[in-house]
Structures are given as structure tokens and as C-alpha cells.
Structure 1
Amino acid sequence: MIHDAIVVGGSYAGMAAALQLLRARRRVLVIDAGQRRNRAAVTSHGFLGHDGSDPAEIARTARAQLARYPTLRWADDTAVSASGERDAFTVVARSGGAHRGRRLLLAIGVSDTLPALPGLAERWGRSVFHCPYCHGYELDRGAIGVLAAGPMSLHQAMLLPDWGSVTLLANGLLEPDAATREALAQRGVAIEATPVARIEGQADVVLADGRVLPFAGLFVASRNAPAGVLAQRLGCELVDTPMGSQIRTDEAKRTTVPGVYACGDAARAPHSVSLAVGDGAWAGAQVHQSLVFPAGG
């Protein structure tokens, strides 16, 4: 069977894209490895109609709704390679299956690289976050630490005082100039220059000098890159962003490889469930229109 579209990645963006295509009665294969980026989070916020919901339940409900469409095929698998050209792509899965499709949509998500601090990765998504709009409110105006990881950390430190009292943990990576210090001071942000040794408890920062700074939550600007190597092996161009790298797409979510589209966190910034869903819905519609009007995509 030749599918009209193969969607690699069945999280929020991928399912939103598949839904548009299924409602156009197109044959869609979703290949999903089951590794949602927010799998460690227990609640999702900022997504209209689902504020405070379990993100896993949102995903389960969405998948059940997609399953009602008879032109859906779902593979719980990992796409390990992809080749071909527009109207004739082949995606090989880890299980050994080879799948053919006219269009290829990458909703592969991103990998997060965190500072190498003991105790940090274990708390990612639970008491260590990247998005204040997703998690800031629930900290109930408590103390917030911003762990320096790069220039985006200053952006976070400037934003977060609307959600609580903020301390920028420079950790030897940032040395704000006088103007930046003044701007931070006007927002009420304290700066802690002592390096961080580790994270303990809920979100307790142990400094190199032995002091312990307790926080309600920590924010860190992780470095992102498209998950896996599928985009690179297909020849999709990547573009640098303040957060890392992402797949280059145009206004119709087309990559630099004809017939290959991309959406969600791997192809846009900033990142959230609601933005991923919107991006996926738009991408799915664009893939459908490329099948109707071949000259356009």
C-alpha cells in the first residue's frame, strides 16, 4: 500500500496533522515510538479546554479519536531511515517493516540537553521546567531559580518575576553587564554568582560553598535539536535558534526537501502543547493541499 502521507511522530503535533488528513479521507500512517517530550510531567497547562489535564490522557484521548477514522494506520515503532522522493518515499521501521508514502511529515520532536548538574535531569518536567507559561502559575508566587545555561537564561530571568521572586543562578556561565544588571534589578531579580554543586529535594540548589537555596521550582533553557537523525539523513536543512537548532520550514511547513514537511517542536519555537497542536493542524492541511494541487508542494 502507498499511503498519502506518513507521519513520523505521534505526539500532539503529529496527531493534529494526521487528523486533518484523515478528515480529508486520506490514507495516513503514523509511526510513533511513544516518547512524548513531556512524558515526565503530570499536568499540562495553557492548552485551552485541557488546562490542568494529565498530558498522557490528552494524548490517549487524541489517539482514540484518530482511531475512529478508517483510513488511519498506526505503527508503534521507530522510524530508523527514510529515502526516496516526492510521491515515492520509503520509511524503514526498527521492526523491519518498510512503508511507502507520497508525502512525509516529520513530527519527531526534540531532544533536550541540560546542564551537567547532579540531580537536574531527574527533576526535569516535575520541578525543573523550561516554559513559564506552562508551569509558572502553579509555583504559587514562590521562590524561583533560573539556572544559567546560555543567553536565553537572561530572557527567562526577566520574564519570571511575574510568577514569583526570582534568583538568577549565574553558575559561572553568565556575567551580566551593568545595563543588564540594572534591568534585572528593576524586575526584582537577585543574582547568585557562586557555582551550583547539585540539586536536591524538590528544587533545592546546593552551592559550591555549601549553602542551600530552596526554591519552589527551577527554570533552565535547555538546548534543543530535532530528535534522532531522520531529518539530517533526508537532507533537511537545519537552522540555528537561540534554543538550539530546528528543521527549516517555510510558511506551508515544507522543508528544503520536496515532499517532506515538518511541524511541532522540531520545526518551530517556542514550544508548548497548544503551539504544537496548532502547528500540526496547519501542517496537515498543507500536506493535504499539496496532494490536491501538486504544483504547490
Structure 2
Amino acid sequence: MNYEVVIIGGSYAGLSAALPLARARRQILIIDAGQRRNRFAEYSHNFLTQDGQAPNTIAEEAREQVKKYSTVSWLCETVTDVKAVDGQYVVFAGEQQFQAEKIIIATGIKDELPQVEGLTERWGKSIYHCPYCDGYELNMGEIGVLASGMHSLHQALMLPDWGNTTLFLNDAIKTEQLDDELLAKLSKRQIVIETRQVARIENHCDVVFVDEERTTLDGLFVSTVTRLQANWIRNLGLDIDSNEYGEAIKTSPAKETNIKGIYACGDVTRSGGSVALSVGDGAMTGIVAHKSFIF
């Protein structure tokens, strides 16, 4: 089957990209595997008009609004490959394949958590990554940062605006890496530095050390390492930015990749993300993709 645009990923960025294209009556297909990045979170915050709403409710409402447009098709499936053929693109999903003039990649990313027992099952419930999304609800209580690298210092320095903050080095940051300048910054923000190794997380958010002592927190923040969802993204020859924060597709400000006809938006293009940023990214991408048919 032939489409003008195939959007790979039907979460906030992908749906937002679809909307201007649908309103321009372009024939589009959205392929979504149902693996929203924030599917583990109970509530979504810091998104105007939807503050405190359940993430799945926001996504479902957006999906129903987009699917009302007659030129929009939807497929619940995982994309396994994308190939350039005769100036267009062939998208493989399940047992089917689709041809498109343009591709929008909005697959999101995978979060790699530190290997600490109890983190994964509490992710999005008492373990967080974005203070703007979840910090306010901790009510200036006891909060922590579990270091996953030197980049965690940035997160730690932000967090005292949301509560009494402890930085758990957990061997991801060595004490000798904390020079006088860094120590002065942490001290100015009244951040407690904990050097003991973390063994596991229990109950709501009890940090248990290897010596079996524990400290009880209202919430714990972790900087994850973000990874691309699929190898076909790399195989396309897209420029990929890789650093200590993870991986992201490089785009222009207009969300164009280095390959003509392929755009990318949302968390797959940035080291940090949120629903609001993904929606803005998607809106820009959909408009730019539409204009590329004309100009």
C-alpha cells in the first residue's frame, strides 16, 4: 500500500506530527507498537491543560482525535525495517510492507536504569527522572539522586528546589572526581553526599545500603541512559548523536534528518524529554513535512 507519509510511533510526538498532515488531507499511516516511554507513570504533569492527567488518557484522547480524519490509517504493529527504494521508502511491519514518500520517526527511546534491585518495578511510581514532571508532588520532602554518571550532578544541583536532597554516589561517581569547585556548588545547595553503596530499593522508596542500613525517601531521581529502540534506525545511515546521556537522532531545527524525506521528533531526538516538548516537536515536524510537498 502507498502513503504520502508513514509515521513510525503513535505516541505524543507522532500523533502531534500527524495532526497538521491530516488537516492538510495527506494520506498518512501511523504505525505504533504500544510502548509509550511514560507508560510506567501514573500521572503526567507540566503539560498545559492536561496537568495531573493519566498519561494513557492523554494518549488515548489524542489518538481518537487524530483517527477521526478520513486520510489517517492506523496499524498496531512493530516496524522491523525501513529501506530506501527508487527515491521513496518501504516500511516493513509484521507481515506487511508499505511505501511512503516521506518518513517521520517518532519511536521514542528506551531508558537504561542503573543495575540496582528494586528500581525497575518502582520506575514512574517513586523513581523519577524529571523534577518538573514529578518534583512538586513530593511536597518538599526527602528526595534523592542515584548517580549514574557525572551528568547526575546536574540533576542533583536542580533538585533542592523540590526537597531536601541527598546525592547517592553509588560508585558511579568517585569522591576524587568531586573537586573543590563541585563540592562548593553542592554545599551551597545544601546537598548531602552519601558514599555508601546502594544494595536495593524497598517499600515505597527505602534506599537500603550494603551494610543493611537504610534511609527513607519520598522519591528518588535517576538519570537514565537513553537508547534507540531499533537497529533499523541505525541501518538507515542517519546521523546519530552519542554521548554519556545516551543516543539521539540528529536533526535540524525543523526536525529534518541528514537523509532527504526522513524526519524525526520527540524523545528520539533529544537527551531529555517531556510530553509538552514531544507535542511541540511533532507539530513542527508535521508542518515541515507538509510544506516539503509544495516547496
- The answer for the alignment partner of 2:75 in structure 1 is 75
TM-score norm. by structure 1 comes to: 0.96
Query: Would the aligned equivalents of 1:29 and 1:73 in 2 still touch at CA under 8 Å?
Result: yes
Letter in 2 for 1:62: A
- The answer for the alignment partner of 1:209 in structure 2 is 211
Runs of 4 or more above 2 Å deviation:
none
Q: CA deviation at 1:228?
A: 1.5
- The answer for the alignment partner of 1:105 in structure 2 is 104
Moved more, 228-237 or 46-55: 228-237
Other structure's SS at 1:198 match? strand
Query: Would the aligned equivalents of 1:85 and 1:259 in 2 still touch at CA under 8 Å?
Result: no
| Identical pairs, percent | 45
Separation in 2, partners of 1:63, 1:86: 32
Letter in 2 for 1:217: G
Separation in 2, partners of 1:240, 1:270: 13
Q: CA deviation at 1:254?
A: 1.1
Separation in 2, partners of 1:224, 1:269: 7
Other structure's SS at 1:138 match? helix
Moved more, 236-245 or 206-215: 236-245
After superposition, where does 1:250-289 map in structure 2 within 5 Å?
A: 250-289=252-291
Q: CA deviation at 1:242?
A: 4.5
TM-score norm. by structure 2 comes to: 0.97
Q: 1:86/1:245 Cα in 2 relative to 1: closer, same or farther (>3 Å)?
A: farther
Other structure's SS at 1:38 match? helix
What per-residue deviation string (whole Å, max 9, x for no partner) do you get for residues 46-74 of structure 1? 00000000110000000110111000000
Query: Would the aligned equivalents of 1:85 and 1:258 in 2 still touch at CA under 8 Å?
Result: no
- The answer for the alignment partner of 2:91 in structure 1 is 91
Other structure's SS at 2:133 match? helix
Q: CA deviation at 1:241?
A: 4.2
* Coordinate RMSD, CA, aligned: 1.1
Contiguous gaps of at least 5 residues in structure 1:
none
- The answer for the alignment partner of 1:162 in structure 2 is 161
Separation in 2, partners of 1:291, 1:270: 31
Separation in 2, partners of 1:210, 1:185: 27
Aligned pair count reads 292
Other structure's SS at 1:279 match? helix
Separation in 2, partners of 1:242, 1:286: 30
Letter in 2 for 1:234: L
Other structure's SS at 1:108 match? coil
Separation in 2, partners of 1:98, 1:173: 44
Letter in 1 for 2:149: G
Separation in 2, partners of 1:21, 1:128: 37
Separation in 1, partners of 2:45, 2:244: 24
Separation in 2, partners of 1:85, 1:163: 52
Contiguous gaps of at least 5 residues in structure 2:
none
- The answer for the alignment partner of 1:58 in structure 2 is 58
Query: Would the aligned equivalents of 1:86 and 1:102 in 2 still touch at CA under 8 Å?
Result: no
Q: CA deviation at 1:240?
A: 2.3
Letter in 2 for 1:16: S
Q: CA deviation at 1:268?
A: 2.1
Separation in 1, partners of 2:256, 2:246: 20
Separation in 1, partners of 2:211, 2:190: 24
Separation in 2, partners of 1:84, 1:264: 23
Query: Would the aligned equivalents of 1:9 and 1:107 in 2 still touch at CA under 8 Å?
Result: yes
